[in-house]
Chains A and B, each alone.
Chain A
């Protein structure tokens, strides 16, 4: 493992410099003038507007309840973190540009155009302090899907070149190299080969035909490579026809998180085309939250027609195999608490799947309070974990999560999202916390009853 680590250093492992009270920095990409930035932001924000988003934009009654659902507000008590306030300039833009009274607003000048300065100062609210976790969407008495609207606002910000720089750079690298963290096709193939060898587990890469295409998050590839082994073990255990493909393996979609629709589409289509190329009937998404949202719910729309294969999150896949009796597991006599990845549970609809799996593992599930659909976000989603200047805020938010985990009083802490896991690891190191986040997939892989395909050493969880 050591050679690979030195050949491909992980930026995530290097210590980050943090300043106590950093000057607010407004990142900009490109060399547009202020006027052009605003123009771009508004045009692209507005261009995405359909009847649905308009309904939500119109509906807000300024009750402020969303603040109580947002971990940023709850942990800081700062009014500016009220979810709907994060959309304020975009609300203004909507009313001026697309609302039913827009012609009146424009003619009478009742709503001022949004200024570049406003957009810049909102960068922190739209990116640093929103993980798109969608908790606010559950509390809103008007049923406004605020998280969805923030995603739309990011489209405008991205077009205006007003994305926090690290997030932009990560997304740009993903577009350029095929992976945000340097897990290029070559690196991925080499890792797979090495891991197959090391763990004595067949890992299929680039099979021309397979029933199941499996994808990975580059966070797993680079930081939690045991996940690759675990995936292979489980699929081999089930005796299924599966493969990784170097022309479509990266499941993360930082283009989407940054708000760049073109990059988002690029990333999604790679997976879609790879699945079609090998004739897969199922695409399995890895332990990654936003990957699920990107492909399960937005993939077909990137593709422009229904996808000719099923899309499953790994936890859904595992639950399915548990239910049809194919997956045979040794009981794990331990108490477990489960952290719900927002995009898979609350936003994705797969809240039950991991619990079915944990149940099959014979664990004693200690649910957090609150849990499931209303579980608190770890604070790392939505690309926030990439933004260095947001670190201190992220730690504040993470304390909420730590308290929740501690209160659950379980022996093991498990989730099914490598981005959450990365956030937990970072928080654990920062606070010298005694809890380590484990992967559901790796837990399953460790408890397989068997046999032929997994004779190698039992991989320890990271």
Chain B
């Protein structure tokens, strides 16, 4: 526990220079002034391997995969390795009682100081019976662990907004972390999965400044979720010119035109995919020729087809409209009959036929 983060990195063969470079990159990603990189390096360097507890609930492990399956050992990977990840069901070696014991130890030792990362939504149906670990419901675990956490980071869309488990008809009664934890700073890092550097960025920010970064209305860090995919999309000029791919293999698609017509949700999706990209900055969905699904937005799972254009209606019940039209004819006919009746009730006198 006495080893600082910098020392730990050094022992893993990471030079001071590389560490500073990482801090600069992270600072710029976090939209901090250049001077902050030094402050960040100093703060991070001195940090004594912070304790992190990672709880997984109703999830697919995709978020962990996102973080750990980078092609080459990246700095965020190493940073992650450098923290004291005291509990992570997927990554930890311990199992059974020993594993739970490790968590309880960490909580006791670092009470009020550890960082809690959560992926997966919490099922409330049937008393939380849909997901339990060591006989304890996710809800109880979350409440208990969150009580001693300094900050809570909801990793992924499931823990941020409920995610796919919450999809209609939401059989397990899944809810997001922020629905349960209301007395602590919770930050959402949605995405299915989220971009790795965004996850470590939150940890680094907390370690540097002792607080989570500024968030938007969905509790997402503004630095990563401040712009829409559309705003930063390299295909945006085609949108602006009105050039759209009509199918996935037409001339427009081959020319790399805008995928709006194919259902891209970029215009209403706030995330950094278009700038940070994935797999060491290799690509992101739109670059690979598929529209954005909007996975970092609440409710994206229940907003109709991924291939339905954003401007198209999501509810077009033609028979109901026909009934409305028919009802109009009926009401209009009644009105006409009433008018005729009112006319008849006046005395008759000749009129000419040019009415």
In the complex, are there CB atoms of A and B closer than 8 Å? yes
A positions within 8 Å CB-CB of B: 43-44, 46-53, 97-103, 148, 152, 155, 261-262, 264-265, 297-298, 300-302
Given A100-B336, A101-B335 in contact, is the A261-B343 Cβ separation under 8 Å?
A: no
- With the chains together, A394 CA to B339 CA distance in Å? 38
Residue with the highest number of chain B CB atoms closer than 10 Å, among A43, A46, A47, A101: A47
Q: Are A261 and B349 in contact (CB under 8 A)?
A: yes
- With the chains together, A104 CA to B306 CA distance in Å? 44
Q: Are B338 and A262 in contact (CB under 8 A)?
A: no
A residues within 8 A CB of B288?
A: none
- Chain B, residues 342-354, CB within 8 Å of chain A (1/0): the string is 1100100111111
Q: Which residue of B lies closest to A100 (CB)?
A: B335
Given A100-B336, A103-B338 in contact, is the A264-B355 Cβ separation under 8 Å?
A: no
B residues within 8 A CB of A51?
A: 355
Q: Are A50 and B355 in contact (CB under 8 A)?
A: yes
Q: Which residue of B lies closest to A298 (CB)?
A: B352
Q: Are B351 and A261 in contact (CB under 8 A)?
A: yes
B positions within 8 Å CB-CB of A: 332, 335-336, 338-339, 342-343, 346, 349-355
Closest CB-CB distance, B333 to chain A, in whole Å?
Answer: 10
Given A44-B346, A46-B343, A49-B339 in contact, is the A100-B353 Cβ separation under 8 Å?
A: no
Given A261-B351, A262-B350, A264-B350 in contact, is the A100-B343 Cβ separation under 8 Å?
A: no
Closest CB-CB distance, A439 to chain B, in whole Å?
Answer: 28
A residues within 8 A CB of B355?
A: 48-53, 152
Q: Which residue of B lies closest to A269 (CB)?
A: B350
Q: Which residue of A lies closest to B350 (CB)?
A: A265
Q: Are B342 and A97 in contact (CB under 8 A)?
A: yes
- With the chains together, A52 CA to B354 CA distance in Å? 8
The 5 closest A-B pairs by CB, nearest first: A50-B355, A301-B353, A301-B352, A298-B352, A265-B350
Q: Are A48 and B351 in contact (CB under 8 A)?
A: yes
Q: Are B351 and A102 in contact (CB under 8 A)?
A: no
Neighbour of A261 across the interface among B335, B336, B350, B354, CB < 8 A: B350
B residues within 8 A CB of A261?
A: 349-352
- With the chains together, A265 CA to B348 CA distance in Å? 13
- With the chains together, A406 CA to B353 CA distance in Å? 40
Q: Are B339 and A102 in contact (CB under 8 A)?
A: yes
- With the chains together, A46 CA to B345 CA distance in Å? 11
A/B pair count, beta carbons within 8 Å: 59
Give 4 new A-B contacts, CB below 8 A, not counting A98-B339, A100-B336, A262-B350.
A44-B346, A46-B339, A262-B349, A301-B352
Q: Which residue of A lies closest to B333 (CB)?
A: A100
A-B contact pairs, 13 of them (CB 8 A): A43-B346, A46-B343, A47-B351, A50-B355, A52-B354, A97-B342, A98-B339, A98-B342, A261-B350, A261-B352, A264-B350, A264-B352, A302-B350
Q: Are A97 and B349 in contact (CB under 8 A)?
A: no
B residues within 8 A CB of A97?
A: 339, 342
Closest CB-CB distance, B208 to chain A, in whole Å?
Answer: 64
B residues within 8 A CB of A43?
A: 346
Closest CB-CB distance, A41 to chain B, in whole Å?
Answer: 11
Q: Are A155 and B351 in contact (CB under 8 A)?
A: yes
Neighbour of A46 across the interface among B336, B342, B349, B350, CB < 8 A: B342
Closest CB-CB distance, A297 to chain B, in whole Å?
Answer: 7
Q: Which residue of A lies closest to B355 (CB)?
A: A50
- With the chains together, A152 CA to B349 CA distance in Å? 14
Q: Are B343 and A302 in contact (CB under 8 A)?
A: no
B residues within 8 A CB of A44?
A: 346, 349
B residues within 8 A CB of A47?
A: 343, 346, 351
Given A43-B346, A47-B343 in contact, is the A100-B332 Cβ separation under 8 Å?
A: yes
A residues within 8 A CB of B351?
A: 47-48, 155, 261, 301
Closest CB-CB distance, B250 to chain A, in whole Å?
Answer: 44
A residues within 8 A CB of B335?
A: 99-103
Q: Which residue of A lies closest to B328 (CB)?
A: A100
Closest CB-CB distance, A343 to chain B, in whole Å?
Answer: 13
Neighbour of B343 across the interface among A49, A148, A265, CB < 8 A: A49
Q: Which residue of B lies closest to A40 (CB)?
A: B346
Closest CB-CB distance, A90 to chain B, in whole Å?
Answer: 14
A residues within 8 A CB of B342?
A: 46, 97-98
Residue with the highest number of chain A CB atoms closer than 10 Å, among B336, B349, B352: B352
Closest CB-CB distance, B334 to chain A, in whole Å?
Answer: 8
- With the chains together, A389 CA to B350 CA distance in Å? 30
B residues within 8 A CB of A101?
A: 335
- With the chains together, A243 CA to B350 CA distance in Å? 29
Closest CB-CB distance, A42 to chain B, in whole Å?
Answer: 9
Q: Are B354 and A297 in contact (CB under 8 A)?
A: yes
- With the chains together, A352 CA to B339 CA distance in Å? 41
Closest CB-CB distance, A73 to chain B, in whole Å?
Answer: 25
A residues within 8 A CB of B350?
A: 261-262, 264-265, 302
Q: Are A102 and B338 in contact (CB under 8 A)?
A: yes
- With the chains together, A264 CA to B355 CA distance in Å? 16
Given A43-B346, A44-B346, A47-B346 in contact, is the A302-B339 Cβ separation under 8 Å?
A: no
- With the chains together, A293 CA to B350 CA distance in Å? 16
Neighbour of A298 across the interface among B332, B343, B346, B354, CB < 8 A: B354
- With the chains together, A33 CA to B338 CA distance in Å? 27
A residues within 8 A CB of B336?
A: 100
Closest CB-CB distance, B112 to chain A, in whole Å?
Answer: 64
Residue with the highest number of chain A CB atoms closer than 10 Å, among B332, B338, B339: B339
- With the chains together, A301 CA to B355 CA distance in Å? 11
Closest CB-CB distance, B302 to chain A, in whole Å?
Answer: 38
- With the chains together, A155 CA to B352 CA distance in Å? 11
Closest CB-CB distance, B162 to chain A, in whole Å?
Answer: 44
- With the chains together, A51 CA to B335 CA distance in Å? 13
- With the chains together, A294 CA to B315 CA distance in Å? 57
Q: Are A302 and B349 in contact (CB under 8 A)?
A: no
- With the chains together, A295 CA to B132 CA distance in Å? 95
A residues within 8 A CB of B354?
A: 52, 148, 297-298, 301
